[in-house]
Amino acid sequence: MGWTLHVLLLGLLLPGLQAFKPLLGNSITHREITEMAILRKTIEVCRALAIAEGRDFPLPTGGRLSASIVQRACSPNNGSLWSAVKFKDSIITIYLSNADVDVIYLLSDRHHFRGEEFTGSRALITDGMASIKATVQQGNFISARFTLGKICHTLQDFYSNSNWIELENEHPNTNLIRPDGGIGYIAGEINKDNDGADHGHLHRAAAAMAVEATMELLEDIRGAAGESNFLQLMGIITHSSVLCFVIDTTGSMSDDIEAAKRVSFSIIDNKKGTQDEPSSYILVPFNDPGVGPLTRTRNSDIFKQRINALSATGGGDEPEMSLSGLLLALTSAPAFSEIFVFTDASAKDVHLKSTVIALIESTKSVVTFLLTNPLLARRRRDTNGFRKSRLYQELAEASGGQAIVVTKDMLPQATDIIVDSSTTGLVTVLQVVRNPGGTDYFSFTVDASMRNITTYLTGSSLTFSFTSPSGVSQSSSASDGPLGTVKVVGNLHTIRLDTQTGLWEIRVTSTQPYTLKVTGRSSIDFVYNIVEDLEGSGNDFTLKEGRLQAGGNGTLLLSVVGGDSLTVTEVSLVDVSGLRVENSTLKPLGEGDYVVFVEKVPDESFVILLKGVDGMHQSPQNSFQRQSNTQLKASSLTLTALTNGTMEPGVQFTVPFTVRSNGMAGHYTIRTRDDRGFITSAPSSLLLDSGRSAQGSVQLKAPGSTPSGTDVTLTIEAESPSGGDSNYAVLRITVLNQVTDFSRPVCQVVSVSSNCSMNCSESWWELSASLTDGNGTGIRRVSFRLGDGTLDTTTSLGEGGVNITIATYNASCCSPYVELVAVDAVGNVGTCFHSIPSPAPSPTSSATALRVLLLLISTVLLAGLQA
């Protein structure tokens, strides 16, 4: 019996060890508490940003919040094409990490505020907050989300397992998120986990307090991170996806580099200030043997400078380090990124193929290769070169991308696909791979929410025809016909279709392998995660590492976003050829969430196909379908890995892992890789008996100079003796220097002057404040909230050698409130609030009104949660 199964059985035998579990009645879970707190805090931040920018921000109506409602409210002009899929995915990542605590740390008292471990429990929270603040400062949001979920669980358990509620406290214990105060005299082992617990009559009061405490923790992180970084941590996207280029810079790539410059500059210049402006930019050059340096920035001018500085030099032999460059991009880009690889050479580092595929599956990123002329020539005369070029096709197919083969002079025309991907709300409706080719018929549904329907056919010797829902047809011989326009560049056929709602049909004939992909723009999309059902309740889950079990059953947590009346009617696992389908059963959880139970996981690679309706009745007009980009695989291997805490620079760090095989006995190959070169030792193989498990460990050590907040991506892979089966675990580990500064900056108002009248445009007020950090790490940033004025700061040396920051804030008297926020180098946050009498009512001037409104929303939403 494996370690994970032992823990799960123990959880069934000892349910009192856990907290906020849906064992009886309609109890409130950690999942619901966490999501509710994130939704409320996120919309509060979005509204504060709107106030600071002088924009209206109508609060959502209807009582309950959802990821779609919050994303729409936070998006410019409440755009209908903004997808909440990344926001929802971030929420899911956080609450699945929250749930993991009940499995991984089931018997740890300090992870659950039990016994005499309250001080240790508080340390877990405050250390975790320090880690989150450091990683967010470095722009490493993925590992921060996992840490956030874990510490939220411990924080929430305090209100379930202590007597804080019994003592009739009306507010959270703020000192739980601050290491420099006392927790108080609190008793433990008082169970309010669910309605049927010993103190179950207080379960809902405990859950309500846990929501408020989680919001308080999020508020502190918000103060340290700043508004923009906080929203990125939560996954709120107010621009399109990142623009990510991986570019070969060897001697023959001059034309390709120029094409990459032209398309990136065009996207930056034409989309700046629009909703399609990229949210950030990533550039990874590679040569031989060098890879990098990585550029990751939100500043388009910096990206322009870095890509403009690229030149084609070096090389010599034909294969290049293309997979190393792609690997660096996959570990640096956010989930769901579109990554474009420019090269004219095959891969020298083919040994990285399995790691690249593992990261593609883990991040759900789409990789498209733009392959130019020299590769074509090698393919025709060199069998080995053809095999290597096929690698790019396999990786593109695994991710849902394209392998576009063109001559160098045709490359500028092929870059339209990059422009297409740099738009908001890009969704996939259908995608299949045919190998070998033949004559095939496909159908897909276009719903009323979709725009810009585009079909990509990648392959040679292709003919095709489309038939619209109204029965009109157009063949590939017509470049501009009644249904749309057809453009052919190299092996890429792009068909831009007129938008007609209903069922479309495609007929494709080819003697060669090909891929078909249909995309569009829509707010309706979905996100999935492979999970394990905790205790068989169907209500609470933990994230399952790696791949589904081959030949067995499986569980998915699926969330559909983009509307308030969406209903999923069918979820299928479809063989990538589109020929074989495994159906599933659904259990709705509410708010667009579903548990998907699959009776038999396909043996071959598969994708997830979702169908549903937008509204009360199913009809061609309101039916929709969506498909996952990423190909998934099953495995008879199970690989679990555990990270405990953060790495400290210069100190050895151990990651234990377990491999279990349901297949053959023998020596299983182990591959371990990290993106920082921190691994010092790891096994190359493990000996397994059939049906048994074996343990190993990876040792890592970060150099003493490693910046605090550095993110390390560790991939552990296990492969069967035959090489035909493999599984993996991808872990994000944070490097954190020891934090010794726990004092918050001090803010004192020095003076206030004003000249107010009923005329907002002619009245003003000014505040001057002194901000110090004593002997701490020093003030890193000063900002303001609630008002829409201007802020200037100057720093000077005061008595005792202490730096003093003078903040001067100016605003109209009709914006009479301001809150100054000072953050020191390790993320401690100090604030001061000031107001003047308002000469006239203003919808954006009342902090009190804001807080009252948010309190009312919280009350209504919690009432809805409890209903």
Most confident of 63-67, 171-175, 417-421, 562-566: 171-175
pLDDT, tens digit, 9 for 90 and up, residues 376-425: 444 444 434 444 578 999 999 999 999 999 888 888 888 888 888 888 88
How many whole angstroms separate alpha carbon 245 and alpha carbon 342?
8
How many whole angstroms separate alpha carbon 128 and alpha carbon 148?
7
Q: How confident is the model at residue 686 (pLDDT cuts 50, 70, 90)?
A: very high
Average pLDDT on 799-828 reads 89
Average pLDDT on 682-708 reads 94
CA nearest to 14, candidates 187, 159, 191: 191
Most confident of 367-381, 481-495, 770-784: 481-495
Average pLDDT on 32-57 reads 88
Look at residue 3 and tell me whether its pLDDT is greater than 50: no
Contacts (Cβ under 8 Å, ≥6 apart) of 511: 437, 461
Average pLDDT on 593-602 reads 91
How many whole angstroms separate alpha carbon 732 and alpha carbon 363?
12
Report the pLDDT value the prediction gives residue 535, as an integer from 0 to 100. 65
More confident: 748 or 774: 748
pLDDT, tens digit, 9 for 90 and up, residues 239-270: 777 889 999 998 888 888 999 999 999 888 88
Buried b (16+ CB within 10 A) or exposed e, 689-700: eeeebbebebeb
Look at residue 575 and tell me whether its pLDDT is greater than 80: yes
Q: How confident is the model at residue 25 (pLDDT cuts 50, 70, 90)?
A: low
Look at residue 133 and tell me whether its pLDDT is greater than 60: yes
How many whole angstroms separate alpha carbon 603 and alpha carbon 552?
10
Report the pLDDT value the prediction gives residue 24, as an integer from 0 to 100. 39
Look at residue 374 and tell me whether its pLDDT is greater than 70: no
pLDDT, tens digit, 9 for 90 and up, residues 105-122: 888 889 999 887 889 999
Look at residue 13 and tell me whether its pLDDT is greater than 50: no
CA neighbours closer than 13 Å in the CB half-sphere of residue 263: 23
Report the pLDDT value the prediction gives residue 62, as an integer from 0 to 100. 61
What residue type is 309 in one-letter code?
A
SS3 665: coil
CB 633 within 8 A of CB 661: no
Report the pLDDT value the prediction gives residue 315, as an integer from 0 to 100. 62
β-strand pairing of 548-549 with 634-635:
parallel
Report the pLDDT value the prediction gives residue 8, as an integer from 0 to 100. 31
Average pLDDT on 732-758 reads 91
CB 41 within 8 A of CB 218: yes
Look at residue 848 and tell me whether its pLDDT is greater than 50: no
Give the start-end residues of each E strand in 344-436. 366-371, 403-405, 426-434
Least confident of 190-204, 326-340, 587-601, 672-686: 190-204
What residue type is 417 in one-letter code?
I
pLDDT, tens digit, 9 for 90 and up, residues 145-155: 999 999 999 99
How many whole angstroms separate alpha carbon 867 and alpha carbon 176?
29
**pTM for this prediction:** 0.89
Q: What is the dihedral sign for C-alpha 533, 535, 539, 542?
A: negative
DSSP 8-class letter at 168: T
Token output for 587: 């259990």
CB 541 within 8 A of CB 532: yes
How many whole angstroms separate alpha carbon 764 and alpha carbon 762?
7
Q: Is 352 left (phi over 0), alpha (psi -120 to 50) or beta?
A: alpha
Q: What angle do CA 77, 79, 84 make, to 5 degrees?
A: 125
Look at residue 132 and tell me whether its pLDDT is greater than 90: yes
Average pLDDT on 208-231 reads 95
CB 264 within 8 A of CB 226: no
Contacts (Cβ under 8 Å, ≥6 apart) of 810: 764, 765, 766, 789, 790
Token output for 66: 């959802």
Look at residue 531 and tell me whether its pLDDT is greater than 80: yes
How many whole angstroms separate alpha carbon 66 and alpha carbon 47?
16
CB 112 within 8 A of CB 157: yes
Report the pLDDT value the prediction gives residue 849, as an integer from 0 to 100. 47
* DSSP alpha helix (H) spans, 415-499: 416-421
Q: How confident is the model at residue 820 (pLDDT cuts 50, 70, 90)?
A: very high
Q: How confident is the model at residue 129 (pLDDT cuts 50, 70, 90)?
A: very high
Report the pLDDT value the prediction gives residue 205, as an integer from 0 to 100. 93
Strand order of the sheet with strand 403-405? Answer: 295-297, 281-286, 243-248, 338-343, 366-371, 403-405
More confident: 516 or 277: 516
Look at residue 179 and tell me whether its pLDDT is greater than 60: yes
Token output for 267: 């996207």
Report the pLDDT value the prediction gives residue 385, as an integer from 0 to 100. 40
Report the pLDDT value the prediction gives residue 384, as an integer from 0 to 100. 41
Q: Mean pLDDT for the chain?
A: 86
Report the pLDDT value the prediction gives residue 527, as an integer from 0 to 100. 94
DSSP track, 754-795: EE--S-GGG-EEEEEEEEE-TTSS-EEEEEEES--SEEEEEE
Q: How confident is the model at residue 17 (pLDDT cuts 50, 70, 90)?
A: very low
Dihedral pair phi/psi, residue 718, rounded to 5°: -125, 135
Least confident of 28-42, 208-222, 228-242: 228-242
Give the start-end residues of each E strand in 470-605. 473-475, 484-489, 492-497, 502-510, 514-521, 525-533, 541-543, 548-549, 554-561, 566-575, 581-582, 584-590, 593-598
Report the pLDDT value the prediction gives residue 528, as an integer from 0 to 100. 95
Contacts (Cβ under 8 Å, ≥6 apart) of 65: 36, 39, 40, 43, 857, 861
Look at residue 82 and tell me whether its pLDDT is greater than 60: yes
Look at residue 787 and tell me whether its pLDDT is greater than 90: no
Q: Kindly tell me the burial class for residue 25, based on how many C-beta atoms sit within 10 Å of its own C-beta (0-12, 13-18, 19 or more).
A: exposed
CA nearest to 33, candidates 850, 865, 867, 599: 865
How many whole angstroms separate alpha carbon 487 and alpha carbon 268?
24
Average pLDDT on 196-225 reads 92
Q: What angle do CA 135, 140, 144 make, to 5 degrees?
A: 60
